[in-house]
Amino acid sequence: MTHDSRSRGLSLRLVGKHESGAHETASVARDVDWSILMACAQEGDRTAYHRLLQEITPYLRSLAARWHRDPGDVEDSVQDVLLTIHSIRKTYDPARPFAPWLVAIANRRFIDRLRRQGRTRDREIPLTTEHETFSEPQANLEVKQDRLELEGMVNDLPPAQQNAVRLLKLKEMSLKEAAALSGMSISSLKVNVHRALKSLRKMLVDRSEP
């Protein structure tokens, strides 16, 4: 690959389908802006740096979308580029345009990620649910049985306790969320859960005794 990074920089700046003079002027102005912001950042201006990173992020996202399909990968790549920029920000020379510097780093990181993914795909097979079922048949069947029994017992509880157990224990909500959803106060939720667990324990003990 012997692309000239400067030409890649130009293609970045002119993203619009119809390149017009106005577009070009705007992109050049933005490049100058970013250059100035980066120069300030190199001198330790945190506000300028924050603004620069915020402004380039949507750009990097659109660039990353050309290389990766998965949105998770796109976001990971963008963060990767941001970290790289941070660690090698002293290599930027404010006398030169900013876009080619940025695009060269970004493309490098995107390609690196694709290569890494390729290597991982070649060597590793992700485990699917079938793998787990075949390797641990006991776990799958038993858990389902226990769950049905437990649900049956929860249905026997008084409605307030049922509600509290379902929200706090089965759906694993926080006290605050459960209170907002059920309309019960936090303290009454706590009391009901406590009582429900006590009754469930009693029911389980009764059942296991002959």
Partner 1 sequence: MIKTPDLIASLAANATPVRRLRPPVMRAACWLLLAAVVLTLLAVNQGIRPDLVRRLQEPAFVVCIAASLLTGVLAAIVAFLVSLPDRSRLWLLLPIPALILWLSNIGYQCLTQWVAIGPDGMSFGEAARCFATLVLTSLPLSLAMLVMLRYAAPLRPIAATFMGSLAVAAITATALSLFHVIDATAMVLMWNFGTAALFVGLAGLFGRTMFRWAAPRTLYARD
Contact call for residue 100 and partner 1 (CB under 8 A): yes
Contact call for residue 110 and partner 1 (CB under 8 A): no
Give start and end residues of each alpha helix (H) in 136-172.
Answer: 137-155, 159-165
- Using CA atoms, how far residue 88 sits from 47, 152, 154, 156, 192, in Å, is 19, 61, 58, 64, 57
Could you tell me the two tokens for 61?
A: 């996202």
Total Cβ atoms within 10 A of residue 111: 12
With contact defined as beta carbons under 8 Å apart, do 78 and 60 qualify?
yes
Given candidates 33, 67, 76, 162, which one binds partner 1 under the rule CB under 8 A? 76
Q: What is the dihedral of CA 6, 8, 14, 19, to 10 degrees?
A: 90
Contact call for residue 33 and partner 1 (CB under 8 A): no
Contact call for residue 5 and partner 1 (CB under 8 A): yes
Given candidates 96, 147, 194, 202, which one binds partner 1 under the rule CB under 8 A? 96
Q: Please identify, using beta-carbon distances, which residue of 28 and 170 lies nearer to partner 1.
A: 28
* Greatest pairwise CA separation for the chain in angstroms: 89
Q: Which stretch binds partner 1 (CB under 8 A): 21-29, 90-98, 138-146, 181-189?
A: 90-98
110: left (phi over 0), alpha (psi -120 to 50) or beta: alpha
Q: Please identify, using beta-carbon distances, which residue of 107 and 161 lies nearer to partner 1.
A: 107
Contact call for residue 1 and partner 1 (CB under 8 A): yes
Q: Please identify, using beta-carbon distances, which residue of 34 and 101 lies nearer to partner 1.
A: 101
Could you tell me the two tokens for 166?
A: 């379902």
Q: Which stretch binds partner 1 (CB under 8 A): 75-83, 121-129, 154-162, 184-192?
A: 75-83
User: Interface residues with partner 1 (CB under 8 A)?
Assistant: 1-6, 9, 41-47, 49-50, 53-54, 57, 75-76, 78-80, 82-84, 86-94, 96-97, 100-101, 104-105, 108-109, 112
